[in-house]
Amino acid sequence: MGDRFPPQREDGPARLRHRRGMTTTPGTGRRGGALVALGFALGYGLLRLYWATGGRWGYTACDRTRSPGPAEMADGCGAERLATLPFWSGWGSVLLCAALVAVAAVAALRPGRLGAVAAWVCAAALLILAFPGHLLFQIPMALAGRPSDWADLTGRLLLLGGGLSFAAAAAGTARRDTPVRRPEPGPVPAWTRRWAYAAFLLPVLGFTVPHACWLLGVPLGIPADELRRAAEEIGVLPGLLLTLAPLLGGLLTLGLAARWGQVLPGWLPGLAGRRVPPALAVVPAGVTALALVAYGVIGIVMMAEALATGATTWAELRTGWAVAGTELVFLGWGVALAVTTAGYHRTTRPTVPVGVGRSGGTAAESLSGGVGS
């Protein structure tokens, strides 16, 4: 009997956590997102350094706020003929990547509120620079085999992935090694459900319905000659993918206000009944909301600039109201999705139980920590 260890007794915070269903955020696991962000910043920084020092493979000189023609796509709008790059496309981008490396390193080595805020700022900047609204058009076109500016498409996807990695880093960096209780699945507030319905209806009514009409040849809110040109350039399959993408996004948004957004439904084999990690819903939804708002704001600014310079007129906007209104739809969709995501986060975020200190012990243990030791 002397070779057997007696069962160990859990004391203090450990016993409290097990009894009350509490868990702690691991101190090392939370750095995973920051390490991914650091890897992105280093890799993308090296690519930008290659372009700044004269390399042109994978570089495009096309205007990223519009869609170039097939001839321009073939050579990246003359990228190979550029002797030097503009400052912000060359060495300025290298300096910005160095700042990304610094933020990711701080988030990985010294997690805390400051690192989280800086990582969120970087995530927002990367998403805005990606101008991701164009991906809604570029990806369906590329999947259908239509001419695409592959360098521009790859660059946008890289920036989008970088934004996601920094968002994940921010979400993980803000956590602390504190015993927390994850709430049981429950209904979201009524205001969250209302915003979720808005985030579903806006893209369906403002984007999917008009595009479905256009696929059927009905010029709803668009000049007939412009619809014919668009049908010839885009084709049926890319148009169908483009039409269905916002519908799918709207359906996923409803999950933020439904039970299946917190517990996986029974028709998923092997996963039925499992809890949905909140970050799996919050990070993509938050990033998408930011991208939609950025797309809408940038589009509205460009529209206002076109009106100011005479490049377009109010009469043209009225004739193509469904096309012009897309910018407002995306802005409203982004705002509704952001509010819905905030409500979901508020419902599913872990809480520190009453009587547990920030260091993980109970209030009584904190008061008596030095007694009898």
| d(C-alpha 38, C-alpha 47), whole Å | 14
Token output for 187: 């209904």
Residue 7: per-residue pLDDT: 43
pLDDT reported for residue 211? 93
Place of tokens 């321009």: 72
- Which helix (DSSP H) or strand (DSSP E) does residue 20 occupy? helix 13-20
Amino acid at 180: V
C-alpha–C-alpha distance, residues 171 and 349, integer Å: 12
Q: Domain map of the chain by residue range?
A: 26-177, 183-356
**pLDDT tens per residue across span 5-42:** 344 444 444 444 444 444 544 444 467 788 999 999 99
Query: How far is residue 284 from each of residues 22, 124, 163, 187, 245, measured CA to CA in Å?
Result: 26, 13, 10, 21, 15
Residue 312 DSSP symbol: S
Residue 44: alpha-carbon gap to chain centroid? 18
At 362 the three-state DSSP class reads strand
Average pLDDT over residues 299-314: 90
- Which range (65-79, 92-106, 250-264) has the least confidence? 65-79
User: pLDDT tens for residues 164-202?
Assistant: 899 888 877 765 555 567 777 888 899 999 999 999 999
DSSP string, 72-85: HHHTTTTGGG-SS-
Distance between CA atoms of residues 40 and 115, nearest Å = 17
Nearest 5°: CA angle at 186, between 182 and 188?
A: 105
pTM of full prediction above 0.85: no
- 144-168 pLDDT, tens digit each: 666 567 888 888 899 989 998 998 8
Joined together, the tokens standing for residue 153 give 């498409």
What's the CA gap between 286 and 278, in Å, rounded? Answer: 12
Using CB atoms within 10 A of its CB, is residue 57 exposed (0-12), middle (13-18) or buried (19+)? Answer: exposed
The pLDDT mean for the chain works out to 80
What's the rounded mean pLDDT across residues 111-138?
83
Spatial contact of 13 and 174, defined as CB atoms under 8 Å apart: no
Between residues 37 and 80, the one the model is more confident about: 37
- The beta strand positions in the chain, using DSSP E, are none
Whether residue 41 contacts residue 97, with contact meaning beta carbons closer than 8 Å, is answered with: yes
Closest CA to 348 of 285, 276, 297: 276
CB 328 within 8 A of CB 317: no
214 and 220 Cβ atoms separated by less than 8 Å:
yes
Tell whether the model's pLDDT for residue 272 goes beyond 70.
yes
Closest CA to 25 of 179, 190, 167, 141: 179
Contact 24, 177 (CB under 8 A): yes
Provide DSSP, 126-186. HHHHH-GGGHHHHHHHHHTT----HHHHHHHHHHHHHHHHHHHHHHHHT--S--BBPPPP-
User: What is the structure's pLDDT at 2?
Assistant: 41
Both tokens of 139, joined, read: 């990806």
Identify whether the C-beta of residue 162 lies closer than 8 Å to the C-beta of residue 40: yes
Residue 103 reports pLDDT greater than 80: yes
